[in-house]
Amino acid sequence: MLHSSLLVAVVVGGVAFVRTLLDAINLEAWRIAGGTIALYGGFVILFFAKRLPYRFRALAFLTLLYVVGVFMLLMAGYLAAPVLILASESVLAAVLFRRRVTLIVLVLNLLTLLAVGAVLASGLIVVETTTFYDPTGFTNWIRVATIFAVFCGIAVVSVDVVTNHLNESLRDQAELIANLKGAMQLHEEADRQRRTAERRLRDTRQGNDD
């Protein structure tokens, strides 16, 4: 699952990377260009770093997704794409980790949306590129955060339920396989004992005949 998600991030993210990079170059937004190259390079490195421990690789992937989402909100001026990225990060956390990590990621993303909205609404940070939304109205961010919480919460709960069912099914299958192996071992042991008893009986008969 992790490798497949990284593959999607590299392939599909590559298209978004080229588009964002070209926009940044046309607008001479060099900080955005540099940040875009660095972040996409991180995904590529993680994709090929298969020898890294699974947990470290998964956490690094979620962290990169989070940074990309915040970067696009604050620097590039996009809204739909980074919100979708943050939502995807929350769902992936439900798949790759347990409920505690999932809850932490979900709450962090929700608070991040509100914090970014507060910063942009206050005028402390002005996005460099043309925005596709009005970042100065904090009520808009409350609406975005609410929609994010509802739909992402539903997605995370659904994934958690499906994952639990799959884990239970895998445990049942593993128990069934273990029982089958035990039965086969008992059968093999009984067959071995039968052959041993038959051999001893033949030896006994031959001794009596002699």
**pLDDT tens, residue by residue, 152-197:** 665 666 566 666 656 666 676 777 777 778 778 877 877 788 788 7
* Confidence band, pLDDT 50/70/90 cuts, at residue 88: confident
| Domain parsing of the chain, residue ranges | 2-173
Question: Would you state the pLDDT for residue 28?
Answer: 79
CA distance 179 to 135: 61
